[in-house]
């Protein structure tokens, strides 16, 4: 998930009143079924450093901790193939330089499919950088980075993925920030057959995460804590006995056209994010890709 490019990322946060969450209403959300509200005891397993994971409020919230001894992580017990999956996260406050909080979806296979949110810590007072990436059939290298337009350490915010046959939409507080379309017709692999589990972890990425590795972790501020609540999955739970058929045959996620395109409002919000907050787009990195990947001419 590391960004292998020499491009420098710098800039100032823009301002765009269109993105105030209090004014957002996305018509698609009203069409969804009531999502499954899951607790962290019944729906997740600790995958890394159990003594650095705190489950709170009877399983309704969870904290991951990073210190010099270890990072930590968890994973969902269920795997999903298509759906709307979201989590409320509050990121590491203060000087978080060098830390990486990853929230992602991944299949358990050699040629994995994976959808990434990676929150790259920064020195106090600087904006958080959110990196997204898409792996399909083991092929990644599709990083995009934006500045978040709010302080993600002051309160919980909702990070979600809407995954359909036609596109994958990454959103923050129901505001689309990225769309990866199904361009199989162009020879581009697309995640459509491998169920994915939900993962999160916090770890030491100071070799690359903040200003290309120039800012290292200041362990005087440890432990670094990321907090989670309100996991929701309006999604097809994959059957272990038949992981693909049970979901691809679903009228809602496998065949229905309801969720297969963006509304005009969503398209407008997405355009505003990309114009005001994007600081890196792999499609425009000519040093890395002298010839742009084929999907780039079709990106929103």
Active site residues: 114, 118
Nearest to 171 by CA among 31, 279, 273: 273
Within 10 Å of residue 270's Cβ, how many Cβ atoms?
20
Q: Which helix (H) or strand (E) holds 276?
A: helix 264-276
Give yes or no for a contact between 125 and 97, defined as CB atoms under 8 angstroms apart. Answer: no
Q: Could you tell me which residues come within 8 angstroms of residue 222 by beta carbon, excluding any fewer than 6 positions away?
A: 66, 67, 68
Whole-angstrom distance, CA of residue 110 vs CA of residue 166: 24
Q: Kindly give the pairing relationship between strand 224-237 and strand 36-38.
A: antiparallel
Beta bridge partners of 178: 170
Q: Establish how many alpha carbons lie within 13 A of residue 149's alpha carbon, considering only the half-sphere containing its beta carbon.
A: 19
Nearest to 51 by CA among 31, 66, 32: 66
Whole-angstrom distance, CA of residue 87 vs CA of residue 44: 13
Report how far apart, in Å, the C-alpha atoms of 279 and of each of 9, 61, 284 are. 6, 32, 11
């Amino acid at each position: 998930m590391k960004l292998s490019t020499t491009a420098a990322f710098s800039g100032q946060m823009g301002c765009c009143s269109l993105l105030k969450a209090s004014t957002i209403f996305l018509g698609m959300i009203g069409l969804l079924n009531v999502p499954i509200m899951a607790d962290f005891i019944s729906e997740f397993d600790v995958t890394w450093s159990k003594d650095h994971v705190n489950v709170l409020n009877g399983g309704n919230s969870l904290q991951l901790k990073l210190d010099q001894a270890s990072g930590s992580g968890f994973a969902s017990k269920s795997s999903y193939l298509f759906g709307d999956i979201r989590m409320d996260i509050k990121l590491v406050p203060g000087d978080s330089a060098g830390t990486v909080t990853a929230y992602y979806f991944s299949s358990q296979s050699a040629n994995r499919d994976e959808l990434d949110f990676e929150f790259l810590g920064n020195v106090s007072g600087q904006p958080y950088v959110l990196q997204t990436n898409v792996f399909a059939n083991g092929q990644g290298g599709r990083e995009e980075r934006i500045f978040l337009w709010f302080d993600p350490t002051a309160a919980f915010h909702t990070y979600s993925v809407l995954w359909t046959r036609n596109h994958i939409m990454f959103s923050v507080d129901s505001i689309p920030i990225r769309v990866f379309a199904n361009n199989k017709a162009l020879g581009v692999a697309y995640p459509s057959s491998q169920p994915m589990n939900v993962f999160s972890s916090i770890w030491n990425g100071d070799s690359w995460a903040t200003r290309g590795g120039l800012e290292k972790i200041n362990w005087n501020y440890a432990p670094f804590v990321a907090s989670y609540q309100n996991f929701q999955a309006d999604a097809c739970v994959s059957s272990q006995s038949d992981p693909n058929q049970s979901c691809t045959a679903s009228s809602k996620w496998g065949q229905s056209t309801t969720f297969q395109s963006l509304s005009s409002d969503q398209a407008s919000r997405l355009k505003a994010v990309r114009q005001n907050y994007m600081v890196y787009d792999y499609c425009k990195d000519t040093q890395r890709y002298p010839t742009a990947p084929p999907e780039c001419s079709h990106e929103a």
